[in-house]
């Protein structure tokens, strides 16, 4: 099992369904490319890991990272599997770009026993701003 993953905010997606439609539209030949400006320094450790998508301050889905490809414009493509795996919502603050996620911090198939994931998005944002979650 890989010990390193990435998190990324799904800009413009407000729901899981919107993210699923985006992945379906951008997948070709069982792969989806996610452009980024910089190659992760730990790229070798990420291959086989997952790209976890954040929607409304919750990680809600992930895709397996297959490889990193250079583009002609100097950017990098994170090449992921074309299948979006839905995971139980896990609270996560939004950020720009991508961030590393260690395996022990990655969401598993088990549900959130604290109930934080079930909070309405607006309430979660307010509590996060107060550093209460």
User: 124 burial class (0-12, 13-18, 19+ CB within 10 angstroms)?
Assistant: buried
pTM: 0.80
Closest CA to 6 of 66, 86, 71: 66
Percent of the chain residues past pLDDT 90, beyond the cut? 59
Cα radius of gyration (the chain): 15
Q: For residue 19, what are the contacts with CB-CB under 8 A and spacing of at least 6?
A: 10, 13, 53, 55, 60, 61, 84
Model confidence band, residue 80 (pLDDT cutoffs 50, 70, 90): very high
7: pLDDT strictly greater than 80: yes
Exposed/middle/buried for 36, CB within 10 Å: 0-12, 13-18, 19+? middle
């Amino acid at each position: 099992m890989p010990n390193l993953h990435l998190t990324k905010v799904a800009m413009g997606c407000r729901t899981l369904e919107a993210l699923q439609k985006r992945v379906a539209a951008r997948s070709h030949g069982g792969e989806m490319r996610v452009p980024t400006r910089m190659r992760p320094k730990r790229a070798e450790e990420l291959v086989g890991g997952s790209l976890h998508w954040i929607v409304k301050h919750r990680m809600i889905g992930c895709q397996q990272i297959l490889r990193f490809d250079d583009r002609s414009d100097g950017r990098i493509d994170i090449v992921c599997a074309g299948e979006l795996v839905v995971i139980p919502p896990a609270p996560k603050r939004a950020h720009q770009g991508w961030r590393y996620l260690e395996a022990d911090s990655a969401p598993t198939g088990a549900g959130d026993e604290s109930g934080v994931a079930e909070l309405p998005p607006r309430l979660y944002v307010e509590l996060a701003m107060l550093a209460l979650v």
